[in-house]
């Protein structure tokens, strides 16, 4: 068995795997959309007509007729669903009931701010988690032992509290950033710290548990028998196998980052998706809410898809093709 | 030669393991090791002369690995070593870690016990080899890389570049063990500590690995601490022996002296239990089956296998696992199936018990074909044909008590009343020499030997005619193995059971079996009565297998 046929077989297996995962991801997003559509449709009291008939809104009869026609509100529910789905797949997220503007435009205005926050928070979480894990394994015991308690400490403090404390210290007392200039670099950084700390705790916990596990493996002792010291053992041997499962954990924390960013945005006065959601909930602007849910599903699914597609490339032990590795003893 | 006849105590002075005139590289005195509060090694003394080899022998759990780890100061958390271990004039146990670390790898090399778990699974062999090469103080990375390739070639790996680019899971156990030996000798240590370097490997590969260690020792002039549970290997390979039991040295001295006349009761027992040193140990019990074999023409064969063929996979990937295999086993005798792992033994027995369907050929047990049956008939046929698995540590449900484990086949076949079943269980347990107290225990509370007895009792409880024994002792220590072999022979003599015995250990086959088929790449390359095949092997492969059996005395 030559290694080239082996490799191309592995590549084909990966291709099949990628296609299958991609199809799954698309299915999950569509199902999530259908699900939210149905939940909203069965809400009691017909919120859409409430909004339309609200005298404060001043909709003219023509406008009401146009909106009813656009959403097919006079049609049976499954026709509405099919129409909503066919708009969704071409990227049409509908029109806000409040402002009469396309929902995609409204989202595009606020999304960059949220993505900046969530991205920065993830970076903070990763740096913090790896720093803690490094400290736990490499610092002398009197320092390392208390450091082990940090993740559970972080987890037990809600992020809005961290946010409020940060604002109190760094903005009000030290004047490092202005709460009114919420999108500034420093303000974003502190918001990301507030959001990232609890997430870092989850990553750090997994990482430390994996490092402890790997350090107990036979190969770690054998590597030390080749004269490796603590730090080299950590960087050359333990870090990679311990970090691989973290890819999956990071993907799972994305939900937390998104949910958390809505709260953090409010505390730090940022104009992000959270703000839009808040306004839309208050005014029962259902097309906007549904679009946000769909967006969250897409982000979550895409991140997990990327994690699943990347993992087999990082871990040489993962074999996607079913045929067992056959190796031969080479004679002396 | 009957060593137990000579009971003279040769060793009045303790621990003279370094031969006279050879200054010791390592001298261990009063080494005591504990895990948590539990002491597992109690005041061990040993010494290794420069350029010499010392074998540390003992059953599993006797503390061999613990001693190896202590010498390298790699005891796991909670482990603590006291006493002295003077290596080249320095007590390494007293050194601070900072001063000891430069000795690891450079002066004391280590070859671990389990090749499959001893290399980082997500790094290439080459990357890990560079760590060993770094100890050589070579200038450039290119030189270090060259040194790694050289050492891989030196340990007999054919394509060093490909091996260096491989991940551990892409290589076989034998290749990994070569890699590990290569990495250990690369920095030219004065002392090599090898912890059961061949226990996880097939016999033929075992011989090559041991030869490799001996050759390297001759080339490089290093001293070798060879840890093993096999007295025959130790006697064949080492200048001096230390026999360890329960963390205490029971005997030590020059190999020739200890081997010819072991002075301690334990060493004598160990010697008697090694199959290759005592081929005729069970001659009396075996003779019963031998007579049945001689009368075989009169009685029909209990197992008849003809032209059995099985292919796995299709096209380029197709693998003929069993290729036109035929043999027949007279009732009340033992037929051995011998070969390296991958030679088709396991597939053959899976076909025999109806777990796989053959592509061609037939199997008859007690005159009834195994494969043309309906499901119900197959079930009935299998009642007379029981299987005992290789590993008693994984083959028994850990949650069940012994009573239920042994009773389960009776329940499955709905045999007898509740009271009758209870009696059958007691009878089966008694017949394998287990006391009734054990009935309420779970496997975790049993030793390996006890577990394998439970597995045999479970097979016997249905009163089968045929037992298929898949390497039933390969996971056990020699002494435990000897007990199980004796039990199997006694049961055969008493009950006329027919055995199909699968093994890669030819010495064991010699003690136990009446006829043998040697398998290679799915084919039977040679078969016949054990005495004939062993005395005059016709096929090269049989000769290789026979030559791989360590014989101890031939030094
Ligand atoms: N990490 C450990 N913690 C506690 N006990 C251990 C540990 N490793 C080994 N032991 C115990 O020490 C004894 C000696 O074990 P070991 O040195 O592995 O024996 P051997 O290598 O001869 O099979 C056994 O009783 C075993 O259970
Ligand atoms: Mg051991």
Based on the fold, state whether residues B353 and B224 are members of the same structural domain: no
Beta-carbon separation of A225 and B169 below 8 A? no
Domain assignment present for residue B28? The answer is yes
Domain assignment present for residue B446? The answer is no
The model's confidence at residue B137, banded by pLDDT at 50, 70 and 90, is: confident
Q: Please give the pLDDT value at position A190.
A: 87
From chain B, the residues in CB contact with A242 under 8 A are: none
Q: Which of A233, A3, A330 is nearest to B177 (CA)?
A: A330
Which of B273, B301, B321 represents a domain boundary (last residue)? B273
Based on the fold, state whether residues B173 and B243 are members of the same structural domain: no
Based on the fold, state whether residues B476 and B360 are members of the same structural domain: yes
Based on the fold, state whether residues B211 and B298 are members of the same structural domain: no
ipTM of the complex: 0.78
Do B135 and B128 touch, CB atoms closer than 8 A?
no
Q: Which CATH superfamily is domain A108-282 in?
A: MetI-like (1.10.3720.10)
- A322 burial (CB, 10 Å; 0-12 / 13-18 / 19+) is exposed
Based on the fold, state whether residues B333 and B218 are members of the same structural domain: no
Domain assignment present for residue B232? The answer is yes
Q: Please give the pLDDT value at position B513.
A: 93
Which of B159, B188, B217 represents a domain boundary (last residue)? B188
pTM of the predicted model, to two decimals? 0.79
| CA B391 to ligand 1 centroid distance, Å | 20
pLDDT digits (tens, 9 = 90+) for B236-267: 899 999 999 999 999 999 998 888 888 899 98
Task: Spell out, as residue ranges, where chain A has pLDDT lower than 70.
Answer: 1-7, 43-48, 57, 177-180, 182, 319-332
Domain assignment present for residue B443? The answer is no
Beta-carbon separation of A228 and B110 below 8 A? no
Interchain contact A26–B (C-beta under 8 A):
no
Beta-carbon separation of B172 and A227 below 8 A? no
Which of B220, B238, B273 represents a domain boundary (last residue)? B273
Whole-angstrom Cα distance, residue B399 to residue A186? Answer: 59
pLDDT digits (tens, 9 = 90+) for B168-194: 998 888 889 999 999 999 999 999 999
From chain B, the residues in CB contact with A241 under 8 A are: 120-122
Of all atoms in ligand 1, which is nearest to the CA of residue B76? 1
The model's confidence at residue B552, banded by pLDDT at 50, 70 and 90, is: low
Domain assignment present for residue B392? The answer is no
Q: Please give the pLDDT value at position B354.
A: 83
CB contacts under 8 A, A 243-282 vs B, are: 244
The model's confidence at residue B134, banded by pLDDT at 50, 70 and 90, is: very high
* pLDDT over threshold 80, residue B11: no
pLDDT digits (tens, 9 = 90+) for B294-308: 776 666 788 999 999
Domain assignment present for residue B554? The answer is no
Domain assignment present for residue B450? The answer is no
Entry field: residues in chain A: 332
3-state per-residue secondary structure call for chain A? CCHHHHHHHHHHHHHHHHHHHHHHHHHHHHHHHHHHHHHHHCCCCCHHHHHHHCHHHCCCHHHHHHHHHHHCCCCCHHHHHHHHHHHHHCCCCCECCCCCCEHHHHHHHHHHHHHHHHHHHHHHHHHHHHHHHHHHHHCCHHHHHHHHCHHHHHHHCCHHHHHHHHHHHHHHHCCCCCCCCCCCHHHHHHHHHHHHHHHHHHHHHHHHHHHHHHHCCHHHHHHHHCCCCHHHHHHHHHHHHHHHHHHHHHHHHHHHHHHHHHHHHHHCCCCCHHHHHHHHHHCCCHHHHHHHHHHHHHHHHHHHHHHHHHHHHHCCCCCCCCCCCCCCCCCC
Q: Which residues span the domain enclosing B258?
A: 2-107+191-273
Interchain contact A42–B (C-beta under 8 A):
no
Q: Please give the pLDDT value at position B473.
A: 84
With a pLDDT cut of 90, the percent of chain B lying above it is 50
Q: Please give the pLDDT value at position A6.
A: 66
Q: Please give the pLDDT value at position B298.
A: 64
Based on the fold, state whether residues B43 and B178 are members of the same structural domain: no
Based on the fold, state whether residues B184 and B220 are members of the same structural domain: no
Say if ligand 1 is within 6 A of residue B112 CB. no
* pLDDT over threshold 90, residue B144: yes
As for how many domains chain B has, the answer is 3
From residue B460, give the alpha-carbon distance in Å to each of A33, B375, B378, B425, B491. Answer: 61, 22, 18, 9, 10
Based on the fold, state whether residues B254 and B313 are members of the same structural domain: no
Domain assignment present for residue B454? The answer is no
Q: Please give the pLDDT value at position B14.
A: 40
Beta-carbon separation of B158 and A331 below 8 A? yes
Based on the fold, state whether residues B209 and B180 are members of the same structural domain: no
At which residue do the structure tokens 């016990």 appear?
Answer: B113
Q: Please give the pLDDT value at position B9.
A: 36
Q: Please give the pLDDT value at position B325.
A: 94
Domain ranges of chain A: 3-89, 108-282
Instruction: Name the closest ligand to CA B39.
Output: 1
Q: What's the gap in Å between the CA of A144 and the closest CA on chain B?
A: 16
Beta-carbon separation of B120 and A219 below 8 A? yes
pLDDT digits (tens, 9 = 90+) for B488-503: 999 999 888 999 999 8
Which of A218, A227, A328 shows the shortest C-beta gap to B112? A218
Based on the fold, state whether residues B253 and B346 are members of the same structural domain: no
Mutation target vs B (from A5, A210, A223, A225; most B CBs, 10 A cutoff)? A225
Which of A216, A224, A329 shows the shortest C-beta gap to B174? A329
> Which residue would you say has higher pLDDT here, A45 or B149?
B149
Based on the fold, state whether residues B120 and B214 are members of the same structural domain: no
* pLDDT over threshold 80, residue B417: yes
Q: Please give the pLDDT value at position A329.
A: 33
pLDDT digits (tens, 9 = 90+) for A134-156: 999 999 889 988 999 888 888 88
* Residue bearing the CA closest to ligand 1, atom 21: B65
Based on the fold, state whether residues B223 and B147 are members of the same structural domain: no
């Amino acid at each position: 068995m030559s290694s080239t046929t082996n490799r191309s077989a592995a590549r084909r297996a990966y291709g099949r795997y990628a296609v299958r995962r991609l199809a799954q991801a698309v299915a999950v997003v569509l199902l999530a959309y259908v699900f939210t559509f149905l939940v909203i449709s069965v809400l009691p009291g017909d919120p859409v007509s409430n909004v339309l008939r609200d005298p404060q809104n001043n909709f003219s009869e023509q406008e009401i007729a146009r909106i009813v026609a656009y959403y097919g509100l006079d049609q049976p529910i499954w026709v509405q669903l099919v129409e909503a789905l066919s708009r969704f797949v071409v990227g049409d997220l509908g029109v806000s009931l409040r402002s009469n503007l396309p929902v995609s435009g409204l989202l595009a205005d606020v999304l960059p701010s949220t993505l900046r926050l969530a991205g920065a928070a993830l970076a903070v979480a990763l740096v913090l988690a790896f720093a803690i894990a490094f400290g736990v394994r490499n610092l002398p015991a009197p320092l390392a032992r208390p450091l082990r308690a940090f993740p559970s400490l972080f987890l037990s403090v809600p992020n809005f509290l961290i946010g409020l404390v940060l604002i109190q210290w760094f903005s009000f007392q030290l004047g490092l950033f202005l709460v009114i200039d919420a999108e500034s670099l420093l303000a974003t950084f502190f918001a990301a710290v507030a959001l990232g700390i609890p997430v870092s705790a989850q990553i750090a916990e997994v990482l430390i548990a994996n490092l402890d596990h790997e350090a107990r493996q036979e190969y770690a002792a054998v590597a030390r028998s080749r004269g490796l010291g603590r730090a080299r053992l950590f960087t050359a041997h333990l870090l990679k196998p311990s970090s691989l499962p973290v890819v999956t954990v990071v993907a799972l924390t994305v939900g937390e980052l998104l949910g958390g960013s809505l709260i953090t945005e409010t505390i730090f006065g940022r104009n992000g998706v959270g703000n839009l959601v808040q306004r839309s909930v208050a005014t029962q602007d259902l097309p906007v809410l549904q679009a946000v849910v769909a967006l969250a599903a897409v982000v979550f699914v895409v991140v997990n898809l990327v994690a699943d597609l990347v993992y087999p490339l990082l871990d040489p032990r993962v074999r996607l093709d079913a045929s067992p590795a056959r190796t031969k003893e080479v004679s002396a | 030669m009957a060593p137990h006849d000579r009971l003279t105590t040769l060793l009045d002075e303790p621990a003279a393991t370094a031969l006279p005139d050879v200054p010791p590289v390592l001298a261990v005195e009063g080494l005591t090791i504990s895990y948590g509060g539990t002491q597992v090694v109690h005041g061990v003394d040993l010494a290794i002369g420069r350029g010499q080899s010392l074998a540390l022998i003992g059953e599993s759990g006797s503390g061999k690995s613990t001693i190896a780890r202590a010498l390298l100061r790699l005891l796991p958390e909670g482990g603590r070593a006291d006493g002295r271990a003077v290596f080249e004039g320095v007590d390494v146990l007293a050194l601070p870690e900072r001063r000891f670390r430069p000795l690891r790898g450079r002066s004391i090399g280590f070859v671990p016990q389990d090749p499959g778990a001893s290399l980082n699974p997500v790094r290439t062999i080459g990357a890990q080899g560079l760590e060993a090469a770094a100890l050589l103080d070579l200038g450039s990375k290119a030189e270090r890389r060259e040194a790694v390739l050289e050492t891989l070639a030196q340990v007999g790996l054919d394509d060093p570049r490909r091996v260096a680019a491989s991940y551990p899971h892409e290589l076989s156990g034998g290749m990994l063990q070569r890699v590990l030996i290569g990495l250990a000798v690369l920095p030219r240590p004065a002392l090599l500590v090898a912890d059961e370097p061949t226990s996880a490997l097939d016999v033929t590969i075992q011989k090559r690995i041991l030869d490799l260690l001996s050759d390297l020792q001759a080339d490089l002039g290093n001293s070798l601490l060879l840890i093993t549970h096999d007295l025959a290997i130790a006697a064949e390979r080492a200048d001096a022996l230390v026999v360890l039991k329960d963390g205490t040295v029971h005997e030590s001295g020059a190999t020739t002296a200890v081997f010819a006349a072991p002075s301690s009761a334990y060493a004598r027992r160990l010697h008697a239990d090694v199959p290759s040193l005592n081929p005729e140990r069970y001659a009396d019990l075996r003779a019963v089956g031998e007579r049945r074999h001689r009368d075989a023409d009169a009685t029909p064969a209990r197992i008849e296998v003809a032209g059995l063929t099985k292919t796995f996979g299709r096209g380029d990937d197709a693998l003929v696992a069993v290729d036109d295999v035929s043999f027949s086993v007279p009732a009340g005798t033992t037929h051995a199936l011998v070969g390296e792992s991958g030679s088709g033994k396991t597939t053959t027995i899976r076909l025999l018990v109806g777990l796989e369907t053959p592509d061609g050929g037939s199997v008859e047990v007690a005159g009834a074909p195994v494969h043309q049956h309906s499901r119900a008939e197959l079930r009935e046929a299998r009642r007379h044909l029981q299987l005992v698995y290789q590993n008693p540590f994984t083959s028994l449900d850990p949650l069940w008590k012994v009573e239920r484990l042994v009773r389960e086949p009776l329940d499955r076949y709905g045999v007898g009343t509740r009271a009758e079943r209870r009696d059958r269980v007691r009878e089966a347990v008694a017949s394998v020499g287990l006391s009734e107290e054990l009935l309420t225990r779970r496997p975790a509370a049993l030793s390996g030997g006890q577990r394998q007895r439970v597995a045999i009792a479970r097979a016997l409880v249905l009163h089968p005619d045929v037992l298929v024994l898949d390497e039933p002792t390969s996971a056990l220590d020699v002494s435990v193995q000897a007990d199980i072999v004796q039990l199997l022979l006694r049961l055969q003599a008493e009950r006329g059971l027919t055995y199909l015995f699968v093994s890669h250990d030819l010495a064991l086959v010699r003690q136990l079996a009446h006829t043998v088929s040697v398998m290679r790449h799915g084919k039977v390359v040679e078969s016949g009565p054990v005495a004939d095949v062993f005395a005059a092997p016709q096929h090269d492969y049989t000769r290789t297998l026979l030559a791989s059996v360590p014989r101890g005395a031939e030094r």
